[in-house]
Amino acid sequence: MLKFVSCCEAAAPAGLGCFADADAPISPRAGPIGAPIPEREFVPTIGVCFHEAAHALHLHARGFRIARAQVGRRNFIERALGEGARMTSLEQIEAGLAGDIGAGYAISRIIYRMCDDEIDAAIARVATGKHGSCDQCLAGIFTRHLATFSDAPDDPAVLREIWRLAEANMIEMLTSGPAYLAIKSLGVELQNVKEMAGETAHQNLEPYIAFGSQPTTEN
């Protein structure tokens, strides 16, 4: 049996979370938990696959190794051991925002930007400790971390400025012609195979954007 575990309280209405074994331990920060359901095959949508492909492209372009990519019961890009520790806080925020921005552009050539109220809500959720580990929660964690180096770490304008910088970086990276083709290529392949080794993901992306060719220029 399986159960759906929401990332956090705010994630439940949006369906953000993952399926876990019915008897698996649950994080105290998790949101609502669905009723147990039988094991079943999960067929990922192309939007989900493009979302994960965009996460992978961000890591690839910035020069961070991927260990594994998976869609289906759980959707995630796993970084190679130690790669997360090498990332700056700004790159961690970028990682949180890359999926929605890249997928939105790959699906419909729309540039996705969160409104100020959505950003404020995500960051405020982190401040209360009632957050999980979905993309927006992780972006909020590292936004608040960077803000501690400012003179006004709790000023919403300061926090939004940090978030918007990462957002602008991802729009620039993920809406180029080569990025569009890279996300489409890896997304379609992920939908076909459901899971692949990190090196396979890198090989898929390399013809479009070279590994490490777009390092962060501002921290």
Instruction: Flag whether 210 is in a domain.
Output: no
What pLDDT shows up at residue 12? Answer: 64
Q: Coil, strand, or helix at residue 73? A: coil
What pLDDT shows up at residue 43? Answer: 85
Instruction: Flag whether 121 is in a domain.
Output: yes
What pLDDT shows up at residue 126? Answer: 85
187 and 114 inside one domain: yes
132 and 183 inside one domain: yes
- Beta strands 66-70 and 76-79 are antiparallel
Tokens 């399986």 identify what position? 2
163 and 185 inside one domain: yes
Determine the structural domain holding residue 178 and report its residue range: 46-205
Instruction: Flag whether 187 is in a domain.
Output: yes
168 and 113 inside one domain: yes
Q: Coil, strand, or helix at residue 77? A: strand
Measure Cα distances from 47 to 72, 104, 213 in Å: 12, 8, 26
Instruction: Flag whether 72 is in a domain.
Output: yes
62 and 22 inside one domain: no
What pLDDT shows up at residue 218? Answer: 59
pTM of the model: 0.90
What pLDDT shows up at residue 39? Answer: 77
141 and 177 inside one domain: yes
User: How do the pLDDT tens digits run along the chain, 219 residues long?
Assistant: 788 877 777 666 666 776 778 788 777 667 777 777 787 777 899 999 999 999 999 999 999 999 999 998 889 999 999 999 999 999 999 999 999 999 999 999 999 899 999 999 889 888 887 777 789 889 999 999 999 999 999 999 999 999 999 999 999 999 999 999 999 999 999 999 999 999 999 999 999 999 999 998 755
Q: What type of residue sits at position 79? A: R
The residues, ordered by sequence, that sit 6+ positions from 190 with a Cβ below 8 Å of its Cβ are 44, 49, 52, 53, 69, 71, 196
84 and 134 inside one domain: yes
Nearest to 18 by CA among 74, 99, 77: 74
CATH assignment at residue 130: 1.20.58
Total number of domains constituting the chain: 2
15 and 106 inside one domain: no
Q: How far apart are CA 192 and CA 214, in angstroms?
A: 28
Q: Which two tokens stand for residue 23?
A: 């008897």
